[in-house]
């Protein structure tokens, strides 16, 4: 059995694990490893989602979720630009299909403005078709700050940066146990 020693072990090689490791790897004089149970990074939730970069439209203004979403969206677009990761700030259209849905659309527009979204635009039925030809609605809201990205690529870049900072990525390393010792933890992996 091979034994390796690190100051920090991050368990999980999805976007949360690799982003955490990347932030920690910026510290000087620490050794860090990402332990991923699968044969590749982003094998579960991160690699199997819709790839949406959320704008912050839906969250209660002033809430931690709203603030994190807006801050995270801006940071992600910047990161993608800096690291040549393909992404598209394509926007999205939210529609009301009957009169009962218009108050909810009004609420979403208000939330969007309160959360600092720029460029929100109300759409008449014919304008909806200009953005989304196969969508029908009686009222719409265009949200230009929504986008898409391949989170697999983002995760891979996070891990690459960890490695450039001297960190390690161990694939096929499922944590199956741990033991507390006086100077830290001993993790047992497959």
Which residues span the domain enclosing 175?
1-51+150-190
170 and 119 co-located in one domain: no
Structural domains in the chain (count):
2
118 and 87 co-located in one domain: yes
- Tell me which residue of 170, 132, 184, 159 sits closest to 24, measured CA to CA: 159
67 and 133 co-located in one domain: yes
5 and 37 co-located in one domain: yes
pLDDT tens sequence across 116-173: 999 999 999 999 999 999 999 999 999 999 999 999 999 999 999 999 999 999 999 9
Whole-model pTM? 0.91
183 and 97 co-located in one domain: no
**Strand stretches in the chain, DSSP E:** 8-11, 32-35, 52-53, 87-88, 92-96, 121-123, 139-143, 147-149, 168-170, 175-181, 184-189
Give the pLDDT of residue 2. Answer: 75
Q: What is the C-alpha separation between 149 and 185, in angstroms, rounded?
A: 36
């Amino acid at each position: 059995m091979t034994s390796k020693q690190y100051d920090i072990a991050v368990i999980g090689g999805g976007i949360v694990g690799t982003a955490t490791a990347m932030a920690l790897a910026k510290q000087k004089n620490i050794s860090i490893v990402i332990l991923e149970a699968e044969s590749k990074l982003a094998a579960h939730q991160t690699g199997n989602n819709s790839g949406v970069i959320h704008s912050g439209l839906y969250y209660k203004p002033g809430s931690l979720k709203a603030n994190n979403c807006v801050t995270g969206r801006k940071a992600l677009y910047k990161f993608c630009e800096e690291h040549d990761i393909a992404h598209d700030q394509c926007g999205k259209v939210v529609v009301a299909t009957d009169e009962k849905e218009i108050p909810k659309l009004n609420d979403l527009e208000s939330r969007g403005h309160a959360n600092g979204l720029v460029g929100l635009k109300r759409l008449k039925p014919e304008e909806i078709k200009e953005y989304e030809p196969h969508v029908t609605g009686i009222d719409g809201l265009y949200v230009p700050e929504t986008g898409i990205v391949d989170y697999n690529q983002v995760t891979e870049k996070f891990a690459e940066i960890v490695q450039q900072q001297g960190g390690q990525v161990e694939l096929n390393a499922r944590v199956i146990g741990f033991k507390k010792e006086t100077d830290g933890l001993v993790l047992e992996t497959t």
